[in-house]
């Protein structure tokens, strides 16, 4: 198989592997499948998501910071977090008078 196997997290660094460096002995996924974080072969659209060095399973939801005042709810779909639903954005504005603090 390839020295650089297909995984759910394509950004993995396999020790500076070069894709065209030949074949190596080992266990590899069939064509059309990728290896997940547990070493199992799965369809790419079933991959978990990676965020801040944490792995989240399919369909899990987390809150991510969007900007200085807003956060949004994101859902793990097909190995990526989707955060584009308008109703999932939460913004906190603080309008304080001169004698109030936040």
Host domain of residue 23: 1-43
Digitized pLDDT (tens) for each residue of the chain, 102 residues in all: 666 778 898 754 444 566 566 677 777 889 899 999 898 999 999 999 999 889 999 999 998 888 878 888 899 998 999 987 756 677 776 666 556 555
Neighbouring C-alpha atoms within 13 Å toward the C-beta of 61:
9
Please give the full DSSP string across 19-85, using - where no structure is assigned.
Answer: TTS-B--S--PPTT-EE-TTS-EE-GGG--EEETTEEE-TT-EEEEE-SSSEEEEEEEETTEEE---
CA distance 95 to 98: 10
Q: What b/e sequence results for 8-24 when a residue is b if at least 16 CB atoms lie within 10 Å of its CB, and e otherwise?
A: beeeeeeeeeeeeeeee
- Same domain membership, residue 52 and residue 68: yes
Task: Note the pTM of the prediction, 2 decimals.
Answer: 0.67
- Same domain membership, residue 89 and residue 69: yes
- Residues 41/33, Cβ–Cβ less than 8 Å: yes
Among candidates 15, 12, 14, 7, which has minimal Cα distance to 40?
7
- Same domain membership, residue 39 and residue 59: no
- Same domain membership, residue 39 and residue 3: yes
């Amino acid at each position: 198989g390839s020295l650089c196997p297909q995984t759910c997290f394509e950004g993995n660094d396999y020790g500076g592997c070069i894709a065209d460096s030949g074949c190596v002995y080992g266990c590899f996924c069939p064509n059309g499948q990728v290896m997940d974080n547990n070493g199992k072969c799965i369809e790419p659209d079933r991959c978990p998501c990676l965020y801040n060095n944490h792995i989240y399973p399919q369909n899990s939801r987390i809150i991510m910071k969007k900007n200085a005042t807003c956060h949004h709810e994101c859902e793990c779909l097909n190995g990526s977090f989707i955060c584009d639903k308008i109703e999932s954005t939460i913004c906190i504005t603080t309008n304080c008078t001169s004698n109030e603090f936040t």
